[in-house]
Amino acid sequence: MDFPEIERCGFLCVHEDTVKQVLAEMPGDETLYDLAELFKVFGDSTRIKILYALFEAELCVCDIAQLLGITQSAVSHQLRVLKSSRLVKARRDGKTVFYALADDHVRKIIAQGMDHVLE
């Protein structure tokens, strides 16, 4: 049986200066854990649809449910996840709560993700 060639170093050699440099810049474990958790939130297609809809306009739960063809309860659940991850914010206008992307960082993440997918 032929096995594919595996790329590896020809000999064991740790580039200590490079390793030290990377370690000096590497965020702490808690920060990296938080980053991983943030990316998990983006791993759900319903949440991505909600974020993309909010990329286009500020919307209430009823609007989002109508757009996505899912229940208001399902939208509310996903909005709680997105809000707790600080990806969306809420604004009350009378009895209606409108949701929007939390800030420009979220807008950039969505835009860059779309650019990457469409390349």
Question: Given this model, what pLDDT does residue 45 score?
Answer: 95
Low-confidence ranges of the chain (pLDDT < 50): none
Look at the block and give the residue holding tokens 């009378």.
94
Whether the model pTM is above 0.95: no
> What are the φ and ψ backbone dihedral angles of 89, each rounded to 5 degrees?
-130, 160
CA distance to 59, 81, 96, 106, per residue, from 66 (Å): 11, 19, 15, 23
Question: Given this model, what pLDDT does residue 33 score?
Answer: 95
Give the domains, in start order, of the chain with CATH numbers. 27-118 (1.10.10.10)
Question: Given this model, what pLDDT does residue 92 score?
Answer: 96
Question: Given this model, what pLDDT does residue 81 score?
Answer: 97
Report which DSSP code applies to 103.
S
Question: Given this model, what pLDDT does residue 105 score?
Answer: 93
Question: Given this model, what pLDDT does residue 12 score?
Answer: 73
